[in-house]
Amino acid sequence: MSDGDPRRPDPGTSVPPPPPASDADDLRFMALALVEAEAAARAGEVPVGAVVVRAGEILARAHNLREATDDPTAHAEVLAVRAAAARIGSWRLDGCVLYVTLEPCFMCAGALVNARLPRLVFGAPDPKAGAVGSLADVVRDARLNHRVEVSSGVLAQACGDVLKAFFAGRRGR
C-alpha cells in the first residue's frame, strides 16, 4: 500500500488498520520519547527514547539501557516493543505506533518488521547506522512479508540536539 492509498481496509479482516497520522499526536508522543532520551543521557546512556502507543494509550516507554545492562540489544525500540507486547499479550503489535527519537538501526528495524508494527515515527536521521532510509530501508523492503508506514523528522532538531549534547559532553571529559 502506498502513502495516501484511499482504499479502505478489508472489512473482513480482524487486524485493525494502521491508526491515521495526526500531527498533534505525533508531536505529543515524540515529546514523550524525547523525555525518555533525556533520562538516558542523565544515566550515561546514549540518549535514544521510544514510546509505543495504541489508540491514544501509551503501552510502553523505554530508553537505551545498553550500559546499565551490558546488553548490546538493549536499544530503546527493542525494549519498548518487548514491553508493549507483554502488556497486550501478543507478539503482534497490531494497531500500534512506535515513536523513537532516532532512526532505527538494522536490529531494531528488523524487530519492528517481526512485530508487524503498522506505523513508525522517528525524529532525527542516523546517517551512520540508520536502517529506515539512510543505509537501507528494512521496514519498507518489498521482499519482506510486512511493511511499516513511516513518518520521519518529527522534532528532529530536538532529538538530534540531545545526542549532540551527549557526545559533546563525553568528549569534554
Residues binding Zn ion (CB under 5 A): 75, 105, 107-108
The residue among 138 and 155 lying less far from Zn ion, judged by its C-beta, is: 138
Min dist. Cβ of residue 46 to Zn ion (A):
10
CA dihedral of 63, 38, 117, 68, whole degrees rounded to 10: -10
Q: Is 77 tagged catalytic? A: yes
* C-alpha cell, 147: 511493511
Extended strands (E) in the chain: 49-54, 57-63, 96-102, 119-124, 149-152
In the complex, the smallest distance separating the C-beta of residue 17 from Zn ion, rounded to whole angstroms, is: 27
CB-based contact 109:75 (threshold 8 Å): no
* Smallest separation (angstroms) from Zn ion to the CB of 50: 9
Nearer to Zn ion by Cβ, of 72 and 89: the residue is 72
Output the residue with the shortest Cβ distance to Zn ion: 108
Q: What are phi and psi of 104, to 5 degrees?
A: -60, 150
The amino acid that residue 117 corresponds to is L
- Which residue out of 36, 38, 45, 77 is catalytically annotated? 77
**Shorter beta-carbon distance to Zn ion: residue 28 or 66:** 66
Active-site residue list? 77
